[in-house]
Amino acid sequence: MAYRDLRDFLHKLERQHELKRITAEVDPVLEITEITDRAVKAGGPALLFERPKGSRVPVVTNLVASERRMNRALEVEALDEVAGRISSILDMQSPQGLLDKVKMLPKLAELGSSFPKTVKTGACQEVVRTEEFSLLDYPILKCWPLDGGRFITWPMVITKNPETGKRNVGCYRMQVYDERTTGMHWQTQKQGAEHFRTARAKSREGRMEVAVAIGSDPTTCLAGVLPAPPGMDEFLVAGFLRREPVELVACKTVDLEVPANSEIVLEGYVDLNEMRTEGPFGDHTGFYSLEAPYPVFHVTCITQRKEPIYLATIVGPPIQEDYFMGHAIERIFLPIMRMQHPEIVDIAMPAEGVFHNLMIVSIRKSYPGHARKTMNAIWSLGQAMFTKVIVVVDHDVDVQNFREVLWKALCAIDPERDVQFVLGPVDTLDHAARRQDFGSKMGIDATRKWPEESYAGRWPDEIKMDEATKRSVEAIWKHLKLER
Ligand SMILES: Cc1cc2nc3c(=O)[nH]c(=O)nc-3n(C[C@H](O)[C@H](O)[C@H](O)COP(=O)(O)O)c2cc1C
Ligand SMILES: [Mn+2]
């Protein structure tokens, strides 16, 4: 059974000692961040702040900020289980006979039950406010000292493509300007920005409707973060991952649907002709992202549960919760990458690489230049296009073992020969790029070089003791008492 909603997940976490209630009054301005930051770095539990200063709404942080809790959220023992389910769908062959067809039915049923389902009523509309409401009633965090204000950090921002009508769900931070206005931090390559541009191209005089849902069952909350291909509904992906459809309810004042089990929903619009300075914001790179103009969200209605819980996440110097989100995405998307690029054995994005700065890829190399082909593939693969440095190693290097990667990659390169530079789109948060959103990327071919790649030498063998000697030493090892 999938988690019904955020509070269902919180109850289950509490029973497993994975949730800590904080009853002392704590300030959503900076203090919650400091506590959350220390907790995540200590491998601590999810936190429920019951008395945030200045608000009657409790706040949750660090919800999935460990691999253990992420597994709980996705209801698996290990993330590879999710990858396995995806692989088995991708591997589906045309059935040969009746037996094959029958065997396929459960998989098809699984896919069929992923589609979101519209329901008439939802807990997220227990209270509907179109007149008296204010964002300032909620314990929205100011995360870091130089932040431009308070920011909603874990929203599901829902829009429809003005041309196709297809839904998009994205997690984009929202700076609170006043009681009813926020920023909308749609980075230029993201789907929200694309919807905004499409609407604007038709006419600048107008509005685009937006709904923002906050707090739902954990998989649905993660949907906004998923780098689903444009046009693919993230709620469909969430339905597949949680093995139960996401239930959606129509908004009260805009033509959009939101997860019925949400805690809080903001309904409103962005004015196609309005931009406003957003930021600075202490970002997941560990540095502040600077002020820049972004669209503005006007809230016209708030719906919520009678006693809502506000869900927030903190980004900042790694490791933070977003590392665990990124790691889950890495595992979930690996089978999809491998479908197009079967040479890929494994990938790793170390926390210190803040996702877009570093990807280590191992490949089974089968032709000259294969490593460079893989780099180019990654630079053309959705949001992996932002990857600033790609290190490609051979299949026998364990990419999850960063010490092994350092050792073997550094031994394997002739720097001038093996480094590939390209120019292209870079992450909006990359403050080192020559231009906002545009700059260079580097690939390092750290695979063994072949004669066909103009390598004139003879690649040496890696040192390994032979098995017979290992076994004979194993037999006497304990008696030697060399271990402390
Ligand atoms: C905590 C958190 C905050 C994020 N904030 C933003 C943001 O402010 N702007 C943005 O464009 N992407 C942000 N992202 C990344 C997007 O959610 C992510 O790229 C997502 O896949 C975009 O979906 P889309 O392709 O549907 O636009 C954030 C991610 C996380 C985990
Ligand atoms: Mn999307």
Q: What per-residue confidence (pLDDT) applies to 103? A: 80
State the distance from the centre of ligand 2 to the C-alpha of 412, rounded, in angstroms.
38
Q: What per-residue confidence (pLDDT) applies to 41? A: 98
Report pLDDT digits (tens) over 335-389: 999 999 999 999 999 999 999 999 999 999 999 999 999 999 999 999 999 999 9
Q: What per-residue confidence (pLDDT) applies to 1? A: 87
Q: pLDDT category, 257, cuts 50, 70, 90?
A: very high
Among residues 5, 37, 233, 283, the one annotated as catalytic is: 283
Is the Cβ atom of 315 under 6 angstroms away from ligand 1? Answer: yes
Ligand 1 atom at minimum distance from 228 CA: 25
The partner residues of 160 in beta bridges, in order of sequence, read 167
Report pLDDT digits (tens) over 172-223: 999 999 999 999 999 999 999 999 999 999 999 999 999 999 999 999 999 9
The C-alpha atoms of residue 255 and residue 159 are separated, in whole angstroms, by 10
* Residue 39 dihedral angles phi and psi, to the nearest 5°: -65, -45
Is the Cβ atom of 224 under 6 angstroms away from ligand 1? Answer: yes
Q: In 3D, which of 243, 246, 244 has the Cα closest to residue 234?
A: 246
Is the Cβ atom of 313 under 6 angstroms away from ligand 1? Answer: yes
Cβ-contact 205, 272 below 8 angstroms:
yes
Q: What per-residue confidence (pLDDT) applies to 77? A: 97
Is the Cβ atom of 173 under 6 angstroms away from ligand 1? Answer: yes
State the distance from the centre of ligand 2 to the C-alpha of 32, rounded, in angstroms.
30
State the distance from the centre of ligand 2 to the C-alpha of 218, rounded, in angstroms.
18
Could you say which ligand is closest to the alpha carbon of residue 222?
1
**Residue 86 pLDDT more than 90?**
no
Euclidean distance between the first and final Cα of the chain, in Å? Answer: 48
- The neighbour count for residue 448, using CB atoms within 10 Å, is 17
Q: What per-residue confidence (pLDDT) applies to 112? A: 84
Give yes or no: 430 in active site. Answer: no
Is the Cβ atom of 225 under 6 angstroms away from ligand 1? Answer: yes
Q: pLDDT category, 96, cuts 50, 70, 90?
A: confident
The C-alpha atoms of residue 473 and residue 184 are separated, in whole angstroms, by 64
Could you say which ligand is closest to the alpha carbon of residue 190?
1
Could you say which ligand is closest to the alpha carbon of residue 225?
1
State the distance from the centre of ligand 2 to the C-alpha of 355, rounded, in angstroms.
18
Report pLDDT digits (tens) over 59-80: 999 999 999 999 999 999 999 9
Is the Cβ atom of 227 under 6 angstroms away from ligand 1? Answer: yes
Quote the tokens at residue 67: 């691999």
Residue to mutate, 63, 172, 235, 323, ligand 1, most ligand atoms under 8 Å from C-beta:
172
Please state, for a pLDDT cut of 70, what percent of the chain lies above it.
100
Nearest CA to ligand 1 atom 21: 227
State the distance from the centre of ligand 2 to the C-alpha of 167, rounded, in angstroms.
8
Could you say which ligand is closest to the alpha carbon of residue 327?
1
In three state form, how does the secondary structure of the chain look? Answer: CCCCCHHHHHHHHHHCCCEEEECCCECCECHHHHHHHHHHHCCCCEEEECCECCCCCCEEECCCCCHHHHHHHHCCCCHHHHHHHHHHHHCCCCCCCHHHHHHHHHHHHHHHCCCCEECCCCHHHCEEECCCCCHHHCCCEECCCCCCCCEECCEEEEEECCCCCCEEEECCCEEEEECCEEECCCCCCCHHHHHHHHHHHHCCCCEEEEEEEECCCHHHHHHCCCCCCCCCCHHHHHHHHHCCCCEEEECCCCCCEEECCCCEEEEEEEEEEEEEEECCEECCCCCEECCEEEEEEEEEEEEECCCCCEECCCCCCCCCHHHHHHHHHHHHHHHHHHHHCCCEEEEECCHHHCCCCEEEEEECCCCCCHHHHHHHHHHCCHHHHHCCEEEEEECCCCCCCHHHHHHHHHHHCCHHHHEEEEEEECCCCCCCCCECCEEEEEEEECCCCCHHHCCCCCCCCCCCCCHHHHHHHHHHHHHHCCCC
Q: In 3D, which of 349, 457, 348, 375 has the Cα closest to residue 412?
A: 457
Report pLDDT digits (tens) over 388-444: 999 999 999 999 999 999 999 999 999 999 999 999 999 999 999 999 999 999 999
19-22, strands of its sheet edge to edge: 19-22, 46-49, 59-61, 310-311
State the distance from the centre of ligand 1 to the C-alpha of 170, rounded, in angstroms.
6
Nearest CA to ligand 1 atom 22: 170
Q: What per-residue confidence (pLDDT) applies to 321? A: 98
Is the Cβ atom of 168 under 6 angstroms away from ligand 1? Answer: yes
Ligand 1 atom at minimum distance from 383 CA: 19
The C-alpha atoms of residue 278 and residue 289 are separated, in whole angstroms, by 10
Report pLDDT digits (tens) over 119-178: 999 999 999 999 999 999 999 999 999 999 999 999 999 999 999 999 999 999 999 999
Q: What per-residue confidence (pLDDT) applies to 110? A: 80
**Residue 94 pLDDT more than 80?**
no
Is the Cβ atom of 191 under 6 angstroms away from ligand 1? Answer: yes
State the distance from the centre of ligand 2 to the C-alpha of 171, rounded, in angstroms.
9
Residue to mutate, 173, 189, 233, 313, ligand 1, most ligand atoms under 8 Å from C-beta:
173
Q: What per-residue confidence (pLDDT) applies to 90? A: 81
Q: What per-residue confidence (pLDDT) applies to 355? A: 92
Report pLDDT digits (tens) over 41-53: 999 999 999 999 9
Q: What per-residue confidence (pLDDT) applies to 93? A: 76
Ligand 1 atom at minimum distance from 171 CA: 17
Distances, alpha carbon 413 to alpha carbons 96, 297, 344, 457, in Å: 48, 49, 20, 13
Q: What per-residue confidence (pLDDT) applies to 99? A: 81
Q: In 3D, which of 267, 238, 256, 273 has the Cα closest to residue 159?
A: 256
Report pLDDT digits (tens) over 98-112: 888 888 888 788 888
Q: Looking at per-residue confidence, does 28 or 92 come out higher? A: 28
**Residue 284 pLDDT more than 90?**
yes
Q: Looking at per-residue confidence, does 95 or 50 come out higher? A: 50
Q: What per-residue confidence (pLDDT) applies to 72? A: 98
